[in-house]
Chains A and B, each alone.
Chain A
Amino acid sequence: MSDERTLDLLEAKIAELRTLDEIDGMNLGGEIARLETRLEDLRRELYSNLSDWERVRIARHPKRPYALDYVDEILDGFYELHGDRIAGDDRALIAGLARLDGRRVVVLAQQKGRSTEENKERFFGMTRPQGYRKGLRAMAMAERFGFPLLTLIDTPGAYPGLESEELNIGGAIAESLLAMSRLRVPIVSVVIGEGGSGGALAIGVADRVLMLENAVYSVISPEGAAAILWKDKERTREAAAALQLTAAHLEELGLIDGVIPEPLGGAQKDFPRTAAALKDELVGHLDELAARPIDELVRGRYERYRNVGRYRPRTDSDE
């Protein structure tokens, strides 16, 4: 998206003119309005027909709002909880207690880093076994006190590495899937950026699964699919399209429950508006779920996952 730089320049120019207009009292209103119209046109041109691969790039955009941005904006009194009580604290998966418009919730959120320093600490948002086991603790607490669970998903995937394997990251993900499938409180999960495979699903078994408009959710990254299935690392565009990993595709396939709209160009273009839209959805879904008997909710969640999949009877003509 090299044209993004043009947009950035134009935005900077408008801001500059505004400052001049306000501070120096120069009469630049007409010029500003002209540039703003031009900016809108460019935006629409650039963003209205995004390919699936371009959505992947927006989902990974370095300026995209991350989980803690939403936590700060939407929730009140976030009280972070640390550590899995065994091996350490994972900074890529944060857990805590918070209020959503007065409703008490337990939050699990995958957090990427902004700076190199922060990314070192947060392993580029890749969750480690310590994170999933901290998540299990948080889930157990949510159930114990009857607080709904809210999870925000944004990870390239579970962290691949020697220590992860030594601490049985696969086993930790499996335990998390099982725990969420039977947890006796309402669960809402939102993919806010990258939904990277098992590392994302591990905190994404829910009564309602939502996605931001430009978020992606996939069994494998387009790069991984290109390398394995096309044997050509360059063919990420084709892989992204074939995987049907965008919110729109997944809603059409019936695999998610809702898509939260973003401003043209992505959530970072108007963060308060995106956050407000997300908050509305969360409140709506949580209230709806809280009104239902918990047995019915857990049964419904079980059926939802039990019935997922597409297959057909095997007939004699297959053989």
Chain B
Amino acid sequence: MAIFKERQYLRVDVEKERDESLWMKCKSCDELVFKRRVRENNNICPNCGEYFFLTAAERIESLVDEGSFVDDAEPIAADDPLVFVDSRPYAERIEDAQQKTGLADAVVLGRATIGGAPIVIAAMDFRFVGGSMGSVVGEQICRGIEAAVEDERPFVLISSSGGARLQEGLFSLLQMAKTAAARQRLADAGIPFISVMTYPTTGGVQASIASLGDVIIAERGAMIGFAGRRVIENTIAQELPAHFQTDAFAFEHGLVDRVAKREDLRDELATLLGFFVEAA
């Protein structure tokens, strides 16, 4: 992860990796696979093709031109406005997630180029409280949008989130309105907004900023939808098709423009950005 070298906290991740075994078992095909090969292969199982989670850093690295990413976002952290305690205090959860991921919260934001086209990119990190959108994620997305307007660069958002950050109560719900409102700034300035939905893009994130892209691309294997399978089965006891809320389901019902394989996503974005940037 050379592009992140200057950020101390991301090195922690690398150190941790070293401590773990060199092999991992693929949850899909049960095959023992060599970890480094998985990483070099975009976190796709070399045996069966199953996608593993990408961290926000890995995701950005997999998409942008090598060495082009600059994480110049002012770091901000959650403030626990409700002093929320469930089975454990929210403040503790945040601290743990920060320790575990080396991130301030569930989003990484910065400037980069893809296929030479300058962009502002924001990527969510599912490891951080399920990639949930609280005040910090909402604020960083808005700042990303404002940076894109300021620099006249397209805004690319990579979602990987279960929805709203429940522990921030109504503050987190209102991030949906906040990010949706900010999206208009891009439209007013004629700046394209590409939304990439990965596993998972659900709840309050799917029902706000992620669904408002000029172009929406689903990564193969994504889960896309508002209310999850369990909620529906518990609330109205309805039987759901096997492919419910998969990338194929989203495509079939017109929720997304295209579905792209992980290994094709960079080229897909480069082509699309090339169109917009040249036209601008």
Inter-chain CB contacts under 8 Å: number: 203
Contacts of B181 in A (CB 8 A): 177-178, 181-182, 205, 302, 305-306
List chain B positions with a Cβ less than 8 A from chain A: 8-9, 74-82, 84-87, 98, 102, 104, 134-136, 138-139, 142, 164, 166-178, 180-184, 202-204, 206-212, 225-227, 231-232, 235-236, 238, 240-241, 244-245, 249, 253-255
Q: Which of B167, B173, B202 has the most CB of A within 10 A?
A: B173
Residues of A contacting B: mostly = helix
Complex CA–CA separation, A164 to B236 (angstroms) = 12
Min CB gap B185→A, angstroms: 9
Chain B nearest CB: distance from A301 CB in Å?
Answer: 8
Q: Using Cβ atoms and an 8 Å threshold, which residues of chain B touch A170?
A: 202-203, 206-207, 211, 225-226, 255
Complex Cα distance, B8 from A203, in Å, reads 43
A interface, CB within 8 angstroms of B? 158, 160-162, 164-171, 173-175, 177-178, 180-182, 197-198, 201-202, 204-205, 217-220, 224-225, 228-231, 238-239, 242-245, 250, 253, 255, 302, 305-306, 308-314, 318-319
Question: Do A311 and B255 have beta carbons less than 8 Å apart?
Answer: no
Contact A229 B209, CB 8 Å, known A165-B245, A168-B253, A306-B181:
no
Closest A residue to B240 by beta carbon equals A162
Q: How far is the CA of A202 from the CA of B176 in the complex (A)?
A: 9
In the bound assembly, the distance between CA atoms of A302 and B98 in angstroms comes to 31
Chain A nearest Cβ from B82, distance in angstroms = 5
Find chain A residues with CB under 8 A from B76 CB.
311-314
Give the distance in Å from the alpha carbon of A145 to the alpha carbon of B74 in the complex: 43
Residues of B within 8 A of A219 (CB): 164, 166, 168-170, 172-173, 204
- A305–B175 Cα distance when bound, in Å, is 8
17 A-B interface contacts by CB (under 8 A): A161-B232, A170-B207, A174-B212, A177-B180, A178-B181, A182-B184, A239-B86, A243-B169, A250-B170, A255-B171, A305-B177, A306-B178, A309-B134, A309-B175, A310-B135, A318-B98, A319-B98
Q: How far is the CA of A229 from the CA of B76 in the complex (A)?
A: 24
Contact assessment for B204 and A244 in the assembled complex, using a CB-CB cutoff below 8 Å:
no
Q: Which residues of B contact A310 (CB under 8 A)?
A: 78-81, 135, 168, 171
Chain A contacts for B208, CB-based, 8 A: 173-174, 177, 198
